[in-house]
């Protein structure tokens, strides 16, 4: 199969998809950011590209292996975002271990954070798959609630490694708000009042 040439007619930066007008003529082709070269800068309307024609799950034609015809190379910012997400995840894991080792938080709280991180990562992966195949999406509010409840380190990994929800400014701002609120709640839980409250909650659960 030979590569085709075309021009991106429009591109939705927040949603991560656009359309390509084939140079040879014919209908425009759908293109998703996941099928775009990761070694080049983000696409934009008017950019000349080469691509291969494929079909999606519903049998519709789409463009894959999309890359600019010339230039447009980049020093990928995604690598920096991945390093940051690993740093956040690792740093927070160390902080939790230190707090637990110092007997400032119970093992149940560590387990809660671990569980929420796994759930958050899975939900991001599920939502990304749904976005690619046109299926029912997970509400952004649900993803934010998971972060608020302690899944934000897992969400950070999902955003950088899955390249999902990593560009939409409004989503990112809300995400960081959930991070700060959750960390503030954790700080309160290691105070005498917060620690007593959490111990009472665990006692009621165990006796329930």
Q: Residue 133: CB partners within 8 Å, gap ≥ 6?
A: 56, 57, 58
Residue with tokens 């105070």: 191
Q: What integer best gives the mean pLDDT of the chain?
A: 90
Q: How many domains does the chain have?
A: 2
Of the candidates 68, 93, 119, which is a domain's last residue? Answer: 68
Q: Does 191 lie in the same domain as 115? A: yes
Residue 78 pLDDT level (bands cut at 50, 70, 90): low
User: What was the pLDDT predicted at 14?
Assistant: 77
Domain range for 93 = 77-207
Average pLDDT over residues 161-181: 91
User: What was the pLDDT predicted at 136?
Assistant: 85
Average pLDDT over residues 65-94: 83
Of the candidates 50, 68, 86, which is a domain's last residue? Answer: 68
Residue with tokens 């070694």: 39
Of the candidates 68, 87, 102, which is a domain's last residue? Answer: 68
Q: Is the pLDDT of residue 206 over 90?
A: no
- Cα–Cα distance, 9 to 75 (Å, whole number): 25
The alpha carbon of 51 is separated from its chain's Cα centroid by a whole number of angstroms, namely 25
- Asked if residue 57 lies in contact with residue 186, where contact means CB atoms within 8 angstroms, the answer is no
Say what percent of the chain tops pLDDT 70.
Answer: 96
Q: Does 103 lie in the same domain as 60? A: no
Instruction: Decide which of 86 and 73 is more confident.
Output: 86
């Amino acid at each position: 199969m030979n590569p085709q040439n075309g021009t991106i007619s429009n591109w939705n930066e927040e949603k991560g998809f656009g359309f390509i007008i084939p140079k040879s003529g014919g209908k425009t082709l759908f293109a998703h950011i996941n099928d775009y070269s990761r070694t080049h800068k983000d696409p934009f309307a008017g950019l000349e590209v080469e691509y291969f024609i494929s079909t999606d799950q519903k049998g519709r034609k789409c463009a894959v292996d999309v890359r600019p015809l010339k230039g447009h190379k980049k020093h990928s910012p995604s690598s920096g975002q991945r390093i940051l997400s690993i740093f956040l995840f690792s740093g927070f894991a160390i902080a939790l271990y230190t707090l637990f080792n110092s007997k400032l938080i119970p093992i149940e709280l560590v387990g809660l954070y671990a569980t929420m991180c796994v759930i958050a990562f899975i939900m991001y992966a599920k939502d990304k798959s749904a976005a690619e195949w046109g299926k029912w999406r997970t509400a952004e509010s649900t993803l934010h609630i998971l972060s608020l409840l302690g899944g934000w380190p897992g969400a950070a990994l999902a955003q950088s490694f899955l390249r999902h929800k990593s560009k939409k400014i409004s989503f990112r701002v809300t995400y960081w708000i959930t991070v700060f609120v959750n960390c503030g709640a954790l700080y309160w839980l290691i105070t005498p009042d917060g620690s007593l409250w959490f111990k009472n909650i665990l006692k009621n659960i165990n006796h329930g």
